[in-house]
């Protein structure tokens, strides 16, 4: 602990955001960054707790708080304070595969468990992490780590999202020959096509890809396993196979006229289209919100990303529908630290909507009841208030309302892995549609086939996907070698 009184002397200061009227003009990342001296002060706020809950992911009332990667947070915070940035980075990389991703998009489970947050404000762990990895690339510390000896074993990874990339990275550094198959034209999975550029610049993913290729990982993009190449071929040609294809089967709305209406899109398709247009330099959006009344079904992070994207495309108005009640602004007595705080979060998209449209775009305890079309196009929707009776969702009588809508985006979550990949691989699934693989072993019902990430766990966070990929790599390595030093 470099400065024993740091948490008393310094206030929390996060990396600031550009003002909403400025940042909505383009899709560039909108975070600004503190100076090195300011960053050292923020790191000095870490108390080096005897029991650092920030690095210990624990489940309380069904919600996890603390880092799933078990990052050595007090250690590298101390090194940041001392100005030992390279050593701090080395401690971070002991447990974290891609800090440049989590430092941008993770909701910081670590900060929710920080003891400073018990009676004040937590340490800026999230921003400190991003500072370290970007400093590492800037100073040339992030060099290829090429294994001196190869094992002679080959592993195929299907899916280049965060779980697949983490598994590939670990197994390659262990000395195995790793080939990653990705059906899209670029790697990254939802990092590339599910998270908009203003949250995660796609150059960051390409930078990591280049480093992994220099280390020996082979990427085959535009290859859809089950369609372009059979799964049997992968099994025959490799000593092990990892399935990390995500949980990309979207939850739909069961409404009359849903199939005929062409103005309804799943969030993942809308965000993917916007990013592809942006990267290709298209002058016109393939799916455009420009000048439209947009309704987004879903109040989570994905819905917020759709909101921010619609504003940048020039939407006339945007509304978010959320079935759950509005959370309180402050913790309730039955939600004490260090539980995950169930409080109101106004994210960047909602902030921008308030700036542009003059009000919070969210309407709580509401869902879509009916679609209305005019001349073959969506013109409005009928909404209804909902409430929970126990676990049963019911409609509130007399609460219907009609809202202008000519673009409806569904951001209501996912129902598991896609049907064709499950059928092609013949792996057993759980009742929730995820691959049935044991927590400790990550093995599927098919010999020498493993699974990790959202495909096994269900829809979750990037940090959980990376943790799953790392653990799965250890399971595969033990299977191939009879033991493993990977943790």
Quick: pLDDT tens for 295-337: 999 989 999 999 999 999 999 999 999 999 999 999 999 999 9
pLDDT tens digits, 46-96 = 998 988 999 999 999 989 999 999 999 999 999 999 999 999 999 999 999
Cβ atoms 59, 107 nearer than 8 A: no
Mean pLDDT, rounded, for 111-117:
95
The CATH classification number of 264-410 equals 3.50.50.60
Mean pLDDT, rounded, for 227-250:
95
For the chain, the average pLDDT equals 95
One CATH from 1.10.3720.10, 3.30.565.10, 3.40.50.2300, 1.10.1060.10 for 6-139: 1.10.1060.10
Q: Could you tell me which of 467, 442, 98, 434 has the C-alpha nearest to residue 246?
A: 434
Query: CATH 3.50.50.60 residue ranges in the chain?
Result: 154-248+415-481, 264-410
Mean pLDDT, rounded, for 236-263:
92
Mean pLDDT, rounded, for 168-195:
98
pLDDT band at residue 212, thresholds of 50, 70 and 90? very high
Q: Which residues pair with 65 in a beta bridge?
A: 58
pLDDT band at residue 426, thresholds of 50, 70 and 90? very high
Cβ atoms 182, 159 nearer than 8 A: yes
Cβ atoms 194, 184 nearer than 8 A: no
Query: CATH 1.10.1060.10 residue ranges in the chain?
Result: 6-139
- Those residues whose C-beta lies under 8 Å from the C-beta of residue 144, and which sit 6 or more positions away, are 211, 214, 215
Does residue 438 have a pLDDT over 80? no
b/e per residue 70-82 (b: at least 16 CB within 10 A)? bbbbbbbbbbbbe
Does residue 202 have a pLDDT over 80? yes
Residue 256, pLDDT score = 86
- HSE-CB of 110 using CA atoms within 13 angstroms: 26
**Angstrom distance (rounded) from CA 21 to CA 367:** 30
Does residue 439 have a pLDDT over 80? no
Mean pLDDT, rounded, for 387-414:
94
Q: Which residues pair with 371 in a beta bridge?
A: 381
Q: Is 249 helix (H, G, I), strand (E, B) or coil?
A: coil
User: For 114-120, which contacts have Cβ atoms below 8 Å and span 24 or more sequence positions?
Assistant: 114/53, 114/54, 115/47, 115/49, 115/53, 115/54, 115/338, 116/7, 116/12, 116/45, 116/47, 117/337, 117/338, 118/337, 118/338, 120/7, 120/12
- For 115, which DSSP code? G
Q: Could you tell me which of 89, 92, 94, 6 has the C-alpha nearest to residue 45?
A: 6
Cβ neighbours around 336 below 10 Å, total: 11
pLDDT band at residue 459, thresholds of 50, 70 and 90? very high
Mean pLDDT, rounded, for 264-276:
97
Question: How many residues does this entry show for the chain?
Answer: 487
**Angstrom distance (rounded) from CA 243 to CA 181:** 10
CATH 3.40.50.1980 fits 154-248+415-481, yes or no: no
Does residue 259 have a pLDDT over 90? no
Q: Is 448 helix (H, G, I), strand (E, B) or coil?
A: coil
Does residue 23 have a pLDDT over 80? yes
Mean pLDDT, rounded, for 235-264:
93
Does residue 170 have a pLDDT over 90? yes
């Amino acid at each position: 602990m470099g400065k024993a009184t740091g948490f008393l002397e310094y206030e929390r200061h996060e990396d600031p955001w550009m003002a909403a009227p400025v940042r909505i003009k383009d899709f560039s990342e909108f975070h600004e960054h503190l100076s090195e001296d300011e960053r050292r002060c923020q790191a000095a706020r870490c108390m080096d707790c005897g029991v650092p809950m920030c690095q210990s992911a624990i489940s309380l009332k069904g919600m996890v708080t603390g880092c799933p990667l078990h990052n050595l947070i007090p250690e590298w915070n101390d090194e940041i304070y001392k100005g030992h940035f390279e050593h701090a980075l080395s401690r971070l990389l002991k447990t974290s595969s891609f800090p440049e991703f989590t430092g941008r998009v993770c909701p910081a489970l670590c900060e929710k468990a920080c003891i400073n947050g018990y009676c004040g404000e937590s340490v800026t762990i999230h921003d400190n992490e991003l500072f370290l990895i970007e400093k590492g690339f800037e100073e040339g510390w992030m060099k290829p780590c090429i294994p001196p000896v190869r094992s002679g074993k080959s592993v195929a990874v299907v899916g280049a999202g965060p779980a697949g990339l983490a598994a590939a990275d670990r197994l390659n550094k262990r000395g195995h020959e790793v080939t990653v198959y990705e059906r899209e034209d670029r790697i990254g999975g939802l990092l590339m096509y599910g998270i908009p550029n203003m949250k995660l610049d796609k150059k960051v993913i390409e930078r990591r890809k280049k480093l992994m290729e220099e280390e020996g990982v082979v990427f085959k993009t535009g290859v859809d396993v089950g369609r372009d190449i059979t799964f049997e071929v992968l099994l025959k040609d490799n000593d092990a196979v990892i399935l990390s294809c995500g949980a990309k089967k979207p939850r739909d709305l069961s409404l009359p006229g849903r199939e005929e209406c062409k103005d309804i899109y799943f969030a993942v398709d809308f965000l993917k289209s916007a990013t592809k247009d942006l990267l290709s330099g298209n002058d016109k959006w393939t799916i455009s919100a420009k000048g439209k009344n947009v309704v987004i079904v879903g109040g989570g992070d994905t819905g917020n990303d759709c909101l921010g994207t619609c504003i940048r495309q020039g939407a006339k108005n945007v509304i978010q529908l959320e079935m759950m009640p509005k959370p309180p602004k402050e913790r309730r007595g039955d939600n004490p630290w260090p539980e995950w705080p169930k409080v109101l979060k106004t994210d960047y998209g909602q902030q921008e909507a308030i700036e542009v449209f003059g009000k919070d775009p969210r309407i709580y305890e509401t869902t879509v009841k009916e679609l209305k079309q005019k001349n073959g196009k969506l013109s409005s929707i009928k909404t209804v208030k909902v409430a929970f009776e126990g676990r049963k969702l019911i409609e509130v009588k007399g609460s219907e309302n009609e809202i202008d809508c000519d673009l409806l985006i569904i951001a209501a979550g996912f129902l598991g892995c896609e049907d064709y990949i499950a059928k092609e691989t013949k792996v057993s699934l759980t009742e929730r549609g995820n691959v049935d693989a044991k927590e400790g072993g990550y093995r599927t019902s098919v010999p020498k086939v493993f699974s990790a990430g959202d495909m096994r766990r269900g829809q979750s966070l990037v940090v959980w996907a990376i943790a799953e990929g790392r653990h799965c790599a250890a399971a595969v390595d033990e299977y191939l070698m009879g033991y493993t030093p990977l943790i």
